[in-house]
Amino acid sequence: MEEKLKPYWTEDELLLSVPGIKPHNGPVILAEIGPTMEPFASGDHLCRWSGVSPGNNRSAGKGKEVT
């Protein structure tokens, strides 16, 4: 796995600088989203795509059913 990750060493090191990202998380993140942000219009878009963006599923005191 280290051999496959060699071309992305810089990106992996950058990911490790983010609080909460452990050494085994960097390769997983790179495998899921790739080494660049090109597929995503913005950081917010990436957060929504990954499901970590908080949302408000309530309006007028009623909750939205999430399926």
**What's the average pLDDT block by block, 10 residues per block, for the chain (67 residues)?**
88 92 91 89 87 72 63
Extents of the domains making up the chain: 2-51
pTM across the whole model: 0.65
Dihedral-angle region of residue 34 (phi above 0 means left; psi in -120 to 50 means alpha; beta otherwise) = left
Neighbours of 22 (CB within 10 A): 9
pLDDT score recorded for residue 2: 82
Query: Which among 6, 3, 27 is positioned nearest to 15, based on CA atoms?
Result: 27
